[in-house]
Structure 1
Amino acid sequence: MDDDTIITGPLYASRKKVYPQATHGTFRNIKWALLVLTLGVYYLMPFLRWDRGPFLPNQAVLIDMPHRRFYFFFIQIWPQEVYYFTGLLIIAAMTLFLMNAVAGRVWCGYLCWQTVWTDLFYAVERWVEGDRRERMIKDKKGLTFRRVYELGLKHFLWLMIAWWTGGAFVLYFADAPTLVKQLLTFQAPGNAYIWIGILTFTTYMFAGHMREQTCIYICPWPRIQAAMTDEWALNVSYESTRGEPRMSTKKAAAARAKGLPAGDCIDCHQCVAVCPTGVDIRDGSQLGCIQCGLCIDACDIVMKEIGRPPRLIAYDTDINIARRPQGLPPIYKPIRARTMIYPAMIAAVGGLMVWKLATRSDLGVDVLHDRNPMSIPMSDGGVRNGYTIRLLNKQANDRHVRLSVSGAPGLQLKIVDAPSPTEATVPPDSTLELRVMVVAPADEVPQASTNVTFTAQDENGKATATAKDHFFPNG
């Protein structure tokens, strides 16, 4: 920039309030269905029951922080099994990438939490204040007694939704009916009230006030997906070759009668009016477009009214947008490298997790060798090594477990300060830490460090767990 250049005016555009208009049609119905489904699952899931037997919680989905467990219906995840969460994160990421490869930001338009809750808040706003035109007129007129009442009612309902959103979240961390009773009688833990307050505030601000600003300025996904998409992905697009030049219905009819070009777009701005981010899709692909398809529904209604074919705005690919001016027919390529790789990765990770769940044992053992000293010589010439062994019992009943060691001849195992030298009782759904000594007799002390295997077996022999470590002849 030259030194003589003078900048006048603001360096940024101030926010222009968006007043989305209600519409109906295929994509609006899909959004309503997904809104009811996703919010229904979120709000009601903590109250579902699942009988796991005595001594275990009967909440279907529970994150039990005090006991460090995650329960999901018949699945129980322990802290040692954090790799399942890693697998779920990989599957979630690959699913998001697959959705992007198929239809751009379709996640943003239909399933993102910001979209779902903002849709719900918009529905409340329309119910209290009216549709787009009414809200715009009321905002221009300023405050009246009725306007204050409407605003107060709207924000009260928003806060109630936000409050229940925060409340539903904490119910996943404790028995839901019990915690609800404690919350209502002000006997719940302080952390519950703190997190409900935080989530109430964030939901109210993001869904009620920040709205499209979250999608445009805060969320990183629009920038990421723009770099990941390709020319074959379906995106909401305006068919300019058919829509241009824009003119009224009468002018278009007159132009067609004279053999002059006339577009189907009558410049009614309905596509802009219904957009939750205020985007004019006729200007092409934009960062603010969340691919929700509401502009398609709005445009189809107008096309039906003026007797023109639907889908002037539709899901289309960049390839077809470039082919139409050349008079070439549209082509689609749903099966390509990325739409095959992502499902393959989802299937591979999902299959591995299912296999691991199906074959995992409900008995576990971990071994930690003493570090100082590594070994202790005995008066009779033998050598002793010390270990800390942790037994894991995933069943809902007491479990009698027998310990043994193998890997070198003559090794003798003894549990320190226990009634039995080789047996222990592990409480239900818990771990038991034991001090164990392994002794090599004088005539059978290994000449070098030797791999040994500790085996834990329950009393009926149905479950066995092993762990490997080393036996050191000298420390």
Structure 2
Amino acid sequence: MSDNNATPPSLYAAREPVFPKRVTGAFRNLKWVIMLVALGIYYLTPWIRWDRGPQLPDQAVLIDLANRRFYFFWIEIWSHEFYFVAGLLIMAGLGLFLFTSALGRVWCGYACPQTVWTDLFILVERWIEGDRNARLRLHRQKKWDFRKARLRVTKYVSWFLIGLATGGAWVFYFADAPTLLVDLVTGQAHPVAYTTMLVLTATTFFFGGIAREQICIYACPWPRIQAAMMDEDTLTIGYRDWRGEPRGKLRKKQDDSKETGDCIDCMACVNVCPMGIDIRDGQQMECITCGLCIDACDDMMDKIGKPRGLIDYLAASDEPKERAGNPPRPVWSHIFRFRTMMYTALWSLVGVGLVFALFIRPEIEMTVAPVRNPIFVTMSDGSIRNTYEVRLLNKHGEDRPFRMTLKGDPSLYIQLEGTPYETVTVNANETLLQKVHVIAPRHSEPAAMERVDIRLWVEDLTTGDRAHNDTVFNGRADK
């Protein structure tokens, strides 16, 4: 009989901390370079100055939420031009599909913010507590003494400062960096800035220092989506088991009675893995294809006099050929194929479209909204008047005079509310709401018709740039 009082098994396995060992090699050096470049761009970009002229911010990259604008060096994006941001997000998605199709989770292994900051946190941890064995001993030490407390406090304070710098750098993208820095130090910054820094400091500390690999395994959806982007020709990290098996310890004298493969079961590939997995067990969702196991294995192969490549970037389609003793296909044949070329073409098409839209967009814009209550007004002299709300947008960095004109029936004419002239001044980088009256004389044809198509024009008197908007004039319709 079954024991009804038995404790049900736990569906959650407690986290086993991962302490990656230091490794050197081509892929580790590549990760260092990418980490330095990515962190340098993130931390330094808000401090780059860019002269845009008077009345405009001189920060090269700025998300100006108050004025609903985004500045990127010489490019200025307004709120109604959000399609540029949407296009960049589409390009980012297609780029991720492209890299995943060609090289697996290469984004996760080298450039993902979680990977970059985790590498930085592990580097700091190694500087303070030592390499893998030293950190393991410290972790397994149950008794707290002065040394363990000192090392842990030093590490956590360092992680906190990294998180604080991360949150601080983020808020600098939304305001003038030098001014905001002074306000933050003197306690005069907006509470939103302090709250944002606190949240980002806490999340950076937790994600990069405490959770680490669990963010990639449980929180990130990409490991579960990537299979749709990959096929048998995708290059990803794998273990040549036909060459490494059966595993055996290295012996000074060859024992012909027991034939072994090249793998000496040294565990070097496992010890350096930031995810704590054994790549020799086959493809796993946790693998981020960072290549550190390749560096560790190649280093060991050099030491024992075996050829490199026991662990390498492999494609499933090459496995049967290699097992038969044939060389694998060239790397370029895995990268330049129909799927990757399709992604590249789509990515390029969106990019070209954005660049084209960026260069053809006008420097002035106008929108016209007819006032519907009432649709028209009969004046004392019998003339018919329609009113329109016209929004004029001046994207220049200086005030500009704009002239309003009308194209349609010759008998129609316009009047601008608040001025006897047809010219108004629009301030630099601002929108002006101007009421415009279109009038048809008493006995004119438009006054007696129900609807007449008209076109309102605006002209920048400084540059000659023009914009227009089509609308209708409503008459009495008494014919």
* TM-score between the two structures when normalised by the length of structure 1: 0.95
CA RMSD in angstroms comes to 1.9
- Partners of 2:463 and 2:136 in 1: CA distance: 75
**Out of 450, 468, 473, which is 1:466 matched to?**
468
- Partners of 1:124 and 1:295 in 2: CA distance: 21
Counterpart of 1:457 in structure 2 is: 459
- Partners of 2:172 and 2:462 in 1: CA distance: 39
- Partners of 2:25 and 2:231 in 1: CA distance: 28
Contact residue 91 and residue 346 of structure 1 kept, 8 A: yes
Counterpart of 2:130 in structure 1 is: 130
One-letter amino acid of the counterpart of residue 31, structure 2: K
Contact residue 171 and residue 179 of structure 1 kept, 8 A: yes
Farther off after superposition, 73-82 or 373-382: 373-382
One-letter amino acid of the counterpart of residue 342, structure 2: I
Identify if the C-alpha distance between structure 1 residues 125 and 461 changes in structure 2 by more than 3 Å, giving closer, same or farther: closer
The Cα of 1:380 is off from its aligned counterpart by 4.3
Counterpart of 2:292 in structure 1 is: 294
Contact residue 362 and residue 463 of structure 1 kept, 8 A: yes
Identity of aligned residues (%): 46
The Cα of 1:106 is off from its aligned counterpart by 0.3
Counterpart of 1:111 in structure 2 is: 111
Contact residue 449 and residue 476 of structure 2 kept, 8 A: no
Contact residue 374 and residue 474 of structure 1 kept, 8 A: no
Residues 1:30 and 2:30 are matched in the alignment: yes
Counterpart of 2:98 in structure 1 is: 98
The Cα of 1:329 is off from its aligned counterpart by 3.2
State the SS of the aligned residue for 1:314.
strand
- Partners of 1:11 and 1:427 in 2: CA distance: 64
Provide, for residues 98-126 of structure 1, a one-character-per-residue CA deviation record: whole Å limited to 9, x for no partner: 11011010000000000000100000000
Contact residue 247 and residue 261 of structure 2 kept, 8 A: yes
- Partners of 1:460 and 1:44 in 2: CA distance: 38
Identify if the C-alpha distance between structure 1 residues 266 and 7 changes in structure 2 by more than 3 Å, giving closer, same or farther: farther
The Cα of 1:223 is off from its aligned counterpart by 0.7
Contact residue 246 and residue 266 of structure 1 kept, 8 A: yes
One-letter amino acid of the counterpart of residue 395, structure 2: K
The Cα of 1:473 is off from its aligned counterpart by 2.5
The Cα of 1:261 is off from its aligned counterpart by 4.0
The Cα of 1:7 is off from its aligned counterpart by 8.3
One-letter amino acid of the counterpart of residue 230, structure 1: D
Residues 1:315 and 2:317 are matched in the alignment: no
Where structure 1 has 5 or more consecutive residues not aligned to the other structure, the ranges are none
* TM-score between the two structures when normalised by the length of structure 2: 0.94
- Partners of 2:476 and 2:300 in 1: CA distance: 88
- Partners of 2:250 and 2:349 in 1: CA distance: 55
- Partners of 2:153 and 2:435 in 1: CA distance: 65
One-letter amino acid of the counterpart of residue 292, structure 2: L
Residues 1:361 and 2:362 are matched in the alignment: yes
Contact residue 392 and residue 431 of structure 2 kept, 8 A: yes
Provide, for residues 174-206 of structure 1, a one-character-per-residue CA deviation record: whole Å limited to 9, x for no partner: 111111111111111111111111111111111
Contact residue 237 and residue 313 of structure 1 kept, 8 A: yes
- Partners of 1:170 and 1:8 in 2: CA distance: 48
Contact residue 110 and residue 292 of structure 1 kept, 8 A: yes
Identify if the C-alpha distance between structure 1 residues 263 and 474 changes in structure 2 by more than 3 Å, giving closer, same or farther: farther
Farther off after superposition, 51-60 or 6-15: 6-15
Matches within 5 A, 1:129-148: 129-142=129-142, 143-148=144-149
- Partners of 2:306 and 2:409 in 1: CA distance: 86
Where structure 2 has 5 or more consecutive residues not aligned to the other structure, the ranges are none
Aligned residues: 469
- Partners of 1:239 and 1:46 in 2: CA distance: 46
State the SS of the aligned residue for 1:27.
helix
- Partners of 2:248 and 2:285 in 1: CA distance: 27
Counterpart of 2:423 in structure 1 is: 423
The Cα of 1:448 is off from its aligned counterpart by 4.1
The Cα of 1:474 is off from its aligned counterpart by 4.7
The Cα of 1:8 is off from its aligned counterpart by 5.4
The Cα of 1:10 is off from its aligned counterpart by 2.3
- Partners of 2:278 and 2:409 in 1: CA distance: 77
The Cα of 1:3 is off from its aligned counterpart by 12
- Partners of 1:374 and 1:326 in 2: CA distance: 83
Residues 1:61 and 2:46 are matched in the alignment: no
Contact residue 409 and residue 444 of structure 1 kept, 8 A: no
Contact residue 376 and residue 474 of structure 1 kept, 8 A: no
State the SS of the aligned residue for 1:99.
helix
Farther off after superposition, 41-50 or 351-360: 351-360
- Partners of 1:386 and 1:77 in 2: CA distance: 31
Matches within 5 A, 1:135-174: 135-142=135-142, 143-174=144-175
- Partners of 1:338 and 1:274 in 2: CA distance: 33
The Cα of 1:166 is off from its aligned counterpart by 0.2
Matches within 5 A, 1:383-422: 383-420=384-421, 422=422
Counterpart of 1:232 in structure 2 is: 233
Provide, for residues 51-90 of structure 1, a one-character-per-residue CA deviation record: whole Å limited to 9, x for no partner: 1111111110011111111110011111121111011111
Counterpart of 1:325 in structure 2 is: 323
Counterpart of 2:70 in structure 1 is: 70
- Partners of 1:410 and 1:216 in 2: CA distance: 72
- Partners of 1:73 and 1:461 in 2: CA distance: 23
Matches within 5 A, 1:334-345: 334-345=335-346
Residues 1:243 and 2:241 are matched in the alignment: no
The Cα of 1:9 is off from its aligned counterpart by 3.2
- Partners of 2:320 and 2:437 in 1: CA distance: 76
- Partners of 2:273 and 2:463 in 1: CA distance: 64
